[in-house]
Amino acid sequence: MAPRTRVKGDAHQQVDEPRPTVADLQGNSAFAQLAQKYWLKPSKKTTKVKVKPDVLKNEIWDVLEQEGFTFKSLLALENLQILENYLWPGYNEDSSDTQVILIVLISNIKTREHLPTWDLFTDNPTEFSSVFRRILSMTLNTTLSPTIRTHLISFIINAFQSLDSGIVRKECAPLVSISIWHNFSTEQKRERKLDQSVQLRKAWRAAAKRYDAADDTVKARLRFERSWLFTLILDFFNQLYNEKSKAENILYCERFLEFLSDLQSQLPTRRYVNTLLQDLNTLPVIRLSPSFNDEDNGLVRDLYALLKHYTYFSIDDYTGIQHTQTEAYERHCATLANLQRTALKYFKDKLTVLALSNYGSIDKRAELEDHLKALTDDEITQLCNLLDLRTSYPTSTSVVTDRHFLTEILVSYHEKRRTFQETARDLSVLPTELTLFEPTLLRNDIYDGSRPLAIPKLNLQYLTVGDFLWRSFILHRCETFYEIRKHVEGAIKRLQPSIGRNGQTTFNGFFRMAMPITKPAIMEVVPALVGDVKPSAVHAEIRIDVSNLSEKIRQEWEDFRPDDVVFLLAVQALDDSKMITNGGATPSDAQRIGLKYLRAAEVTQVLDDQGRPIRDQGNYARSGRTRTLKVNLDAAMYKEDKEREARGKPNVYESINLIVRRRNQENNFKPILESIRSLTLSDVPLASWLHEVFLGYGDPAGATYTHLSNRIKKVDYRDTFLDWQHLVESLPGKTVEPGDEVNGSFGPPYVLQSVSQTVNAPSAKPSKKRRRDAEPAPQVVSQSIEVSTYKPPNTGPYPMDAPKLNHIRFTPAQVDAIISGTQPGLTVIVGPPGTGKTDVVTQIINNIYHNFPNQRTLLIAHSNQALNQLFQKIVALDIDERHLLRLGHGEEELNTSANFSKHGRVESFLDNRAGYLHEVDRLAVNFGAPGHHGSSAETAGYFNSVYVEPAWTRFEEVAKSPDATRESILEAFPFHTYFSNTPQPVFPPDADKEALLDIANGSYHHVAKIFTELADIRPFEILRRDRDKSNYLLTNEARIIAMTSTHAAMRRQEIAALGFHYDNVVMEEAAQITEIHNFIPLALQNPKNGEMPLQRVVLCGDHYQNSPVIQNLAFRQYANLEQSLFSRLVRLGVPVINLDQQGRARPSIAELYSWRYQNLGNLPHVSSLPEFQIANAGFKYDYQFIQVDDYKGKGESEPTPHFIQNLGEAEYAVAIFQYMRLLGYPASSISILATYAGQRALIADVLAHRCAKNPLFGLPRIVTTVDKYQGEQNDYVILSLTRTSRVGFMRDIRRLTVGFSRARLGLYVLGRREVFESCFELRQMFDIIFQRPDKLQLVTGELWPSRRILSEEEGQDVPGQSQMENVEHLGQYVFEMTNAKVQQLRAERGLPEAELETISMMRQGDEEDLEVVVEEEFEDEE
Q: What percent of the chain has pLDDT over 70?
A: 91
- Residues near 619 by beta carbon (within 8 Å), at least 6 away in sequence: none
- Angle at which helix 325-346 crosses helix 377-386, to 10 degrees, equals 130
Query: Taking the mean position of all CA atoms in its chain, how far away is CA 314?
Result: 28
Farthest-apart Cα atoms in the chain, separation: 118
Cis peptide before 1226 (omega within 30 of 0): no
Among the listed residues 341, 351, 428, 331, the one whose alpha carbon sits nearest the alpha carbon of residue 387? 341
Q: Average pLDDT, stretch 1229-1243? A: 95
User: Which element (helix H / strand E) includes 627?
Assistant: strand 626-633
- C-alpha 827, offset from chain centre: 18
Please give the Cα distance from 423 to 1380 (Å, whole number). 73
Report helix, strand or coil for 760. strand
Q: What is the enclosing helix (H) or strand (E) of 927?
A: helix 902-927
Residue 877 identity = L
Half-sphere exposure of 1389 (CA within 13 A, CB side): 11
For the segment 1287-1319, what is each residue's pLDDT rounded down to a tens digit?
Answer: 888 888 999 999 999 999 999 999 999 989 878
Q: What is the pLDDT of residue 1023?
A: 81
pLDDT of residue 621: 55
**Please, are residues 1257 and 1209 in contact by the beta-carbon 8 Å criterion?**
no
* CA 136 to each of CA 97, 157, 221, 282, 289: distance values in angstroms, whole numbers, following the listed order: 12, 12, 11, 21, 26
How many angstroms separate the Cα of 1014 from the Cα of each of 480, 939, 975, 1009, 1025? Answer: 47, 10, 19, 8, 19
> pLDDT tens digits for 1175-1220?
999 999 999 999 999 999 899 998 887 889 999 999 999 999 999 9
What is the rounded distance in angstroms from the CA atom of residue 108 to the CA atom of residue 156?
Answer: 10
Between 4 and 1157, the higher pLDDT residue: 1157
Q: CA-to-CA distance for 1115 and 479, rounded, in angstroms?
A: 7
C-beta neighbour count of 465 within 10 angstroms: 20
Checking if the pLDDT of 1148 tops 60, the result is yes
CA gap 1355, 1180 in Å, rounded:
11
Q: What share of the chain is helix, strand, coil (3-state, %, to 5)?
A: 50, 10, 40
One DSSP character per residue, 1268-1310 reads GGTT--EEEEEEE---SS--GGGGSHHHHHHHHTSEEEEEEEE
More confident position, 256 or 1390: 256
- 684-693, 955-964, 1070-1079 — most confident range: 1070-1079
- Judging by DSSP bridges, how do beta strands 1303-1311 and 1336-1339 pair with one another? unpaired
Contacts of 1358 (CB under 8 A, 6+ apart): 1180, 1339, 1348
As a whole number of angstroms, the distance between CA 297 and CA 299 comes to 5
Instruction: In whole angstroms, give the CA distance from residue 146 to residue 144.
Output: 7
Kindly report, residue by residue over 867-913, the tens digit of the pLDDT: 888 888 888 888 888 888 888 776 555 555 556 665 666 777 777 88
Q: What is the pLDDT of residue 949?
A: 93
pLDDT for 581 equals: 46
Q: Is the pLDDT of residue 774 over 50?
A: no
Q: Where are the alpha helices (DSSP H) in 9-80?
A: 22-25, 30-38, 53-54, 62-67, 71-79
**Does 1406 score more than 70 pLDDT?**
no
Alpha-carbon distance 1367 to 1312, whole Å? 13
- Specify the 3-state DSSP secondary structure of 600: strand
The phi and psi torsions of 737 (rounded to 5 degrees) equal -130, 140
| Residue-level length of the chain | 1422
Phi and psi angles of residue 936, each rounded to the nearest 5 degrees, phi first = -160, 170
- Tens digits of per-residue pLDDT, 633-687? 999 999 999 999 999 999 999 999 999 999 988 889 999 999 999 999 988 788 9
Question: pLDDT grade, residue 1417 (50/70/90)?
Answer: very low
Distance, C-alpha 662 to centroid of its chain: 22
Query: Are the C-beta atoms of residues 1389 and 1174 closer than 8 Å to each other?
Result: no
Q: To the nearest whole number, what is the mean pLDDT of the chain?
A: 88
**Is residue 1111 within 8 Å of 851, Cβ to Cβ?**
no
pLDDT of 864 higher than 90: no
Q: What is the pLDDT of residues 82-91, one digit of tens each?
A: 999 999 999 9
Q: Which residues contact 1227 (CB under 8 A, 6 or more apart)?
A: 1221, 1257, 1258, 1259, 1260, 1261
Q: How confident is the model at residue 1016 (pLDDT cuts 50, 70, 90)?
A: confident
Q: How far apart are CA 1017 and CA 1021, in angstroms?
A: 7
- What SS3 state is found at 751? strand
- Judged by DSSP in three states, 360 sits in helix
Q: Give the pLDDT confidence score for residue 988 in this predicted structure.
A: 87
Q: Kindly list the distances between the CA atom of residue 1298 and the CA atoms of 1152, 1176, 1231, 1268, in Å, as whole numbers in the listed order.
A: 11, 22, 14, 10
C-alpha 1062/C-alpha 1084 separation (Å) is 9
Q: CA of 1088: how far to CAs of 567, 831, 967, in Å?
A: 40, 34, 55
CA distance 1392 to 980: 65
Q: 1159-1162 long-range CB contacts below 8 Å, 24 or more apart? A: 1160/832, 1160/835
| pTM > 0.85: yes or no | yes
- What pLDDT shows up at residue 566? 96
Strand 857-861 to 1040-1044 pairing: parallel
User: Which positions ≥6 away from 12 have C-beta within 8 Å?
Assistant: 437, 441, 442, 443, 445, 446, 485, 588, 589
